Amino acid sequence: MTDLAIVTEKLTRRFGALTAVDNVDLRVTAGQFFGFLGPNGAGKSTTIKMLTGLLAPTSGRMQLLGLDFSSHTVEVKRQIGVVPEGMGLFERLTGAEYLHFVGRMYGLDHATTLQRTQELLEFMQLADRPKSMIADYSHGMQKKLALAAAVIHGPRILFLDEPFEGVDALAAGALKALLGRMTARGVTIFLTSHVLEIVERLCSHVGIIHQGRLVAQGSIEELRAGIAGSEGGKTTLEQIFLSIVGQSGGERTQIEELSWLT
Amino acid sequence: MADVAQPVGILKQVWLIAGLRWRLLHNSLRRKQNRLDLLGLIIVSLLAGTFVIGVCFALFVGASDFVSSGRSSWLSLFFWAIFLWWQLFPIIAAGFGISFDFRTLLRFPVSFGAFYVIGLAYGLADFTGLAAVCWIVSIILGAAAANLALLTPIFLVAVLFVIFNVALERLLGSWLERMLARRRSRELFFAVFILLMVSVQLIGPFLNRYGDSVGSWLPRVLPYFAYFPASLAGSGVGAASEGHYGEFALAVAGIACYAVFFGGLLWLRFAAQYRGEELSQAPAPERTLRNSVGRRSEMDALALLSPQVAAVVRKEIRYLLRNGFAALLLLLPPILVFALITQATLFRFSGAASGTSPELVFPGLMAYIILILMAPAYNSFAYENTGVQTYFTAPLKFRDVLLGKNFVQVSLIVTELTLCIVAFYYRVGLPSAPIFTATLAAIVFTVVGQLSIANWSSLSFPRKLAFGQVHGQRQSGMAVLVAFGAQILLFGISSLVLALGRWTGDRWLPAKAFALLAAAAFGGYIASLDALTSYAEKKKEKLIEALCR
């Protein structure tokens, strides 16, 4: 049997009358590069927040690396890394100070933290501004730092909420290479992104959530095969996504005429 | 496309912004947290209102008496008091200010005129400004009650005086923010403060030695104060009451000149902001921060603490040192204490207050320091921003975060108290052993007792504050109320214990009682950590939402 890194059973989260995540059953195998897709407001961030301990589920179960999240919270958190929505940075620390802070929060010893901090800053090309505060970093630099902080303790699962947003092409290439190496070493990566090309290029498996419900899950090939009436050529992830979400969601496919704009 | 670009007048823009403020308040009340916040704010405002109304009565009676007894120019004293209040109190109590930064309006096509008017209006819309205006109205009414003919002159003087004060207060606040946002000027500012602190200590001996010559200087210096706006306001009213309209016109012109001058400076300041200058986001210069990671490699000073607690402690210290305004507030209590000690010393030298005794002053000063220094603990996550998520994604128990924060808080209090005790010992002398011991035990009791409540308050009523800003900041109303209640409760218990000591005649009874209470508070604190860890888990969504917004 394949090792499952992430398992959710009937995971549900309600905000008053609104059900943001509705009975989601996720299966992510260890070492998979898993893309979690959905339109705005579909429940992606809510799901990732629940999986990383930032939000409590209303009902349902979560198992990460075979451990029940609710009863082994600290053990699970020790083995996961997170780049949350908004990045979760302490903006009035320098990059080095922040990485040191996070390393120590994850229980790394002093020497290891210092060594990894230095290595990560150099890898992320942030070492040339050791004295700048994070508040003065560009958005892309902050993203890189948030990713560095998420991996400093060598997590077995990495949760990334829009990791490439605002990152330049050069840095994005380096990050993709890093993430690729991590999955090759058995790290599970769970990412959300609106850029479907990136997901298609990086992820082996995807899950699509729409209006709180998981409407599709599997490898990209499996999803491709499941699309009825696909054109002769290779169906792109965007086409798969639109065919699952675009029409069923009842979104407007036609742009209304905004005569006053022209 | 261009058909929308209709020019909008200043009044219309001000009206639109007033509507926006109302809509923001109205919509915010949909959340329970915000409703509680407003409730707390209303209760605190009622308490503050009692103080304001009390002073209003005093000023009404005083103004009426001065005018009816032919001493109208003595109103200068009131105007001086209001002037000092208006310019100094906002720095001490910025937490009561408004939470809307009017500079965010810059993204709209707001004209500079409207921007300026709104900026001035915000200077009137905080507690300090409202209280000052109420007091000025009381003076007007008091003076008019005694002599109705004075209504017009004093009203004119008062309006100009208000404009001058608003402009100056906005200008000072604006410059203070700008200065504290930059490391070099911040350091310079703190250096001046520390020098001031030291020099305050020298006033006593200086006056003791040169008191006579200073006494002869004073009459020569005082007339120069006549040219300041507060004195001009009083003398103007005095001149009007005696029918000297030429002098009255001169005084009015003088205040108007001040108002125009500071209004002009404020105009320049706001113009810089209008052009896009962002005061509080001055760049962190490359040379500003030493590479602390490298420095740490030599020795880990916090090795005795767990890595998580030590990490929080380091982060807290860095945040404190980089948040100019918060650091400034921490410096204020010892400065004021040194000033008070000097006063006490002066009285002792002159023999004017033979009753001044360390037995009473010492516990009072210590209580005052705790009152001020504990206040930030009631909203201790205010500056975390999105970073607060780290506390919930990291593999730790929330007690570590609370311990780290409380450790820094207590260390600060201990440092400042030690400084003050040393200064007190040097200038006044220590109180008797029973009082000294009782005070120390009472400190432990009130600080540790408050920590548990403050931790709960921080989790229950979090409110995001902008780092390093003076204006546009408001604490959570409920947090202020909880702090107020906790301090009244703990200081009430302390007073009861002291009274019990006096009543029984047992001088060591308060020390014993406080030691017991301190032990109980400590036990309660330790027990509360686990409960608060569970509570944090329950409250994490609200905490993250409040701070990451």
Complex confidence, ipTM: 0.76
Q: Check A90 against B387: CB less than 8 A apart.
A: yes
Give yes or no for a contact between A208 and A241, defined as CB atoms under 8 angstroms apart. yes
Confidence check: pLDDT of B264 > 60: yes
**Which residue segment(s) compose the domain that B19 sits in?**
8-184+222-281
The whole-number pLDDT of residue B107 equals 59
Helix H or strand E segment including A126: none
Q: Is residue B209 part of a domain?
A: no
Give yes or no for a contact between B96 and B126, defined as CB atoms under 8 angstroms apart. yes
Residues of B in contact with A260 (CB under 8 A): 3
> CA B154 to CA B64: how far, in whole Å?
12
- The per-residue pLDDT for range B519-541, each reduced to its tens digit, is 999 999 999 999 999 999 998 88
Confidence of residue B194 (pLDDT cuts 50, 70, 90): low
Q: In what order do the strands lie in the sheet with A157-161?
A: A80-83, A157-161, A188-192, A33-37, A205-210, A213-219
Do B366 and B441 sit in the same domain of this protein? yes
**Residue B192: CB partners within 8 Å, gap ≥ 6?**
none
Among chain B residues, the shortest Cα distance to A81 is held by B393
- For residue B10, count other CB atoms closer than 10 A to its CB: 16
Q: Check A97 against B318: CB less than 8 A apart.
A: yes
Across residues B314-343, what is the average pLDDT? 75
The whole-number pLDDT of residue B289 equals 43
Q: Check A106 against B388: CB less than 8 A apart.
A: no
Across residues A17-23, what is the average pLDDT? 91
Complete DSSP assignment for B109-175? ---HHHHHHHHHHHHHSSHHHHHHHHHHHHHHHHHHHH-GGGHHHHHHHHHHHHHHHHHHHHHHHHH
How distant is the Cα of B175 from the closest Cα of chain A, in angstroms? 21
Among chain A residues, the shortest Cα distance to B280 is held by A135
Q: Check B284 against A135: CB less than 8 A apart.
A: yes
Give the angle subtended at the CA of B419 by the CAs of B416 and B424, to the nearest 5°: 125
Do B369 and B443 sit in the same domain of this protein? yes
Among chain A residues, the shortest Cα distance to B536 is held by A54
Share of chain B above pLDDT 90, in %: 24
In a mutagenesis test of the B interface, which of A21, A69, A101, A161 is the best target, namely the one with the most B β-carbons within 10 Å? A101
Do B76 and B23 sit in the same domain of this protein? yes
Confidence of residue B286 (pLDDT cuts 50, 70, 90): very low
Beta bridge partners of A159: A82, A190
The whole-number pLDDT of residue B120 equals 81
**Residue of higher predicted confidence among B85 and B328:** B85
Mean pLDDT of chain A: 85
Q: Is residue A173 part of a domain?
A: no
How distant is the Cα of B1 from the closest Cα of chain A, in angstroms? 6
Exposure letters B130-150 (e unless 16+ CB within 10 A, then b):
ebbbebbbbbbbbbbbbbeeb
- The per-residue pLDDT for range A29-38, each reduced to its tens digit, is 999 999 999 8
Among chain B residues, the shortest Cα distance to A111 is held by B297
Q: Is residue B254 part of a domain?
A: yes
* Number of domains observed in the structure of chain A: 1
**Which residue segment(s) compose the domain that A104 sits in?**
80-154
Residues of B in contact with A139 (CB under 8 A): none
Q: Where is average pLDDT lowest: A216-230, B226-240, B445-459, B476-490? A: A216-230
Q: How far is CA A59 from CA A8, A52, A66, B413, B533, in A?
A: 11, 16, 19, 44, 22
**Residue of higher predicted confidence among B485 and B118:** B485
Residues of A in contact with B296 (CB under 8 A): 100, 110, 114
Q: Is residue A146 part of a domain?
A: yes
Q: Best-predicted range by mean pLDDT among A79-83, B98-102, B280-284, B474-478?
A: A79-83
The whole-number pLDDT of residue B287 equals 41
Q: Is residue A39 part of a domain?
A: no
Q: Is residue A193 part of a domain?
A: no
Confidence check: pLDDT of B350 > 80: no
Q: Is residue B85 part of a domain?
A: yes
> CA A202 to CA B498: how far, in whole Å?
71
Confidence of residue B129 (pLDDT cuts 50, 70, 90): confident
Task: Give the closest of B291, B310, B392 to A53, CB-based.
Answer: B392
Q: Is residue B151 part of a domain?
A: yes
Q: Where is average pLDDT lowest: B6-20, B416-430, B494-508? A: B6-20
- The per-residue pLDDT for range B202-216, each reduced to its tens digit, is 666 676 667 677 667
Give yes or no for a contact between A117 and A164, defined as CB atoms under 8 angstroms apart. no
Residues of A in contact with B313 (CB under 8 A): none
Do B314 and B443 sit in the same domain of this protein? yes
Q: Is residue B200 part of a domain?
A: no
Q: Best-predicted range by mean pLDDT among A61-65, A163-167, B30-34, B86-90?
A: A61-65
Among chain B residues, the shortest Cα distance to A84 is held by B389
Q: Where is average pLDDT lowest: B29-43, B128-142, B244-258? A: B29-43
Q: Is residue B295 part of a domain?
A: no
Across residues B227-235, what is the average pLDDT? 90
Residues of B in contact with A96 (CB under 8 A): 291-293
Q: Check B390 against A87: CB less than 8 A apart.
A: no
Do B483 and B388 sit in the same domain of this protein? yes
- The per-residue pLDDT for range B371-383, each reduced to its tens digit, is 888 888 898 898 8
Residues of B in contact with A105 (CB under 8 A): 307-308, 311-312, 390, 394-396
Q: Where is average pLDDT lowest: A25-39, A214-228, B284-298, B361-375? A: B284-298
Which token pair is A14?
């309600």
The whole-number pLDDT of residue B181 equals 64
Among chain B residues, the shortest Cα distance to A127 is held by B291
Residues of B in contact with A90 (CB under 8 A): 315, 319, 384-385, 387, 390
Do B104 and B52 sit in the same domain of this protein? yes
Confidence check: pLDDT of B127 > 70: yes
Q: Where is average pLDDT lowest: A5-14, A90-99, B224-233, B356-365? A: B356-365
Q: Is residue A255 part of a domain?
A: no
Give yes or no for a contact between A84 and A131, defined as CB atoms under 8 angstroms apart. no
Do B249 and B366 sit in the same domain of this protein? no
Q: Is residue A243 part of a domain?
A: no
Q: Is residue B212 part of a domain?
A: no
Structure-token match 């020569």, residue found: B220
Q: Check B394 against A77: CB less than 8 A apart.
A: yes
The whole-number pLDDT of residue B41 equals 72
Q: Which DSSP letter does residue B73 get? A: G
Across residues A253-262, what is the average pLDDT? 63
The whole-number pLDDT of residue A208 equals 92
Among chain A residues, the shortest Cα distance to B537 is held by A56
* Number of domains observed in the structure of chain B: 2
**Residue B40: CB partners within 8 Å, gap ≥ 6?**
B461, B476, B477, B478, B479, B480, B481, B482
- The per-residue pLDDT for range B409-461, each reduced to its tens digit, is 999 889 888 888 888 888 778 888 898 999 999 999 999 999 999 999 999 98
Across residues A84-112, what is the average pLDDT? 88
How distant is the Cα of A102 from the closest Cα of chain B, in angstroms? 8
Confidence of residue B245 (pLDDT cuts 50, 70, 90): confident
> CA B295 to CA B433: how far, in whole Å?
43
Task: Give the closest of B284, B395, B397 to A107, CB-based.
Answer: B395
Q: Check A106 against B394: CB less than 8 A apart.
A: yes
Do B311 and B441 sit in the same domain of this protein? yes
Share of chain A above pLDDT 70, in %: 92
Residues of B in contact with A80 (CB under 8 A): 393
Residues of A in contact with B540 (CB under 8 A): 54-56
Do B386 and B248 sit in the same domain of this protein? no
The whole-number pLDDT of residue B346 equals 54
**Residue of higher predicted confidence among B313 and B335:** B313
**Residue of higher predicted confidence among A15 and B189:** A15
- Alpha-helical segments (H) within A109-168: 110-123, 139-151
User: What is the reported pTM?
Assistant: 0.70
Task: Give the closest of B307, B387, B541 to A55, CB-based.
Answer: B541
Helix H or strand E segment including A83: strand A80-83
Confidence of residue B163 (pLDDT cuts 50, 70, 90): very high
The whole-number pLDDT of residue B116 equals 84
Do B143 and B57 sit in the same domain of this protein? yes
Q: Is residue A145 part of a domain?
A: yes
Residues of B in contact with A131 (CB under 8 A): 284, 286-291
Q: How far is CA B306 from CA A97, A209, B313, B406, in A?
A: 17, 41, 10, 14
Structure-token match 């404190």, residue found: B320
Confidence of residue B24 (pLDDT cuts 50, 70, 90): low
The whole-number pLDDT of residue B83 equals 92
Q: Check A107 against B308: CB less than 8 A apart.
A: yes
The whole-number pLDDT of residue B199 equals 67
Do B434 and B516 sit in the same domain of this protein? yes
Q: How far is CA B258 from CA B154, B163, B165, B474, B495, in A?
A: 17, 9, 9, 30, 47
Residues of B in contact with A155 (CB under 8 A): none
Residues of A in contact with B322 (CB under 8 A): 92, 133
**Residue B155: CB partners within 8 Å, gap ≥ 6?**
B140
Structure-token match 């790290």, residue found: A187
> In this complex, how many residue pairs, one in chain A and one in chain B, have their CB atoms less than 8 Å apart?
133
Among chain B residues, the shortest Cα distance to A95 is held by B293
Mean pLDDT of chain B: 79
Q: Where is average pLDDT lowest: A44-58, A175-189, B101-115, B163-177? A: B101-115
> CA B86 to CA B169: how far, in whole Å?
7
How distant is the Cα of B284 from the closest Cα of chain A, in angstroms? 6
Q: Check A100 against B541: CB less than 8 A apart.
A: no
Q: Is residue A92 part of a domain?
A: yes
Confidence check: pLDDT of A214 > 90: yes
Q: How far is CA B229 from CA A1, B46, B90, B131, in A?
A: 85, 31, 19, 19
Confidence of residue B474 (pLDDT cuts 50, 70, 90): low
* Phi/psi of residue B85, nearest 5 degrees: -60, -50
Do B272 and B335 sit in the same domain of this protein? no
The whole-number pLDDT of residue B322 equals 79
The whole-number pLDDT of residue B98 equals 42
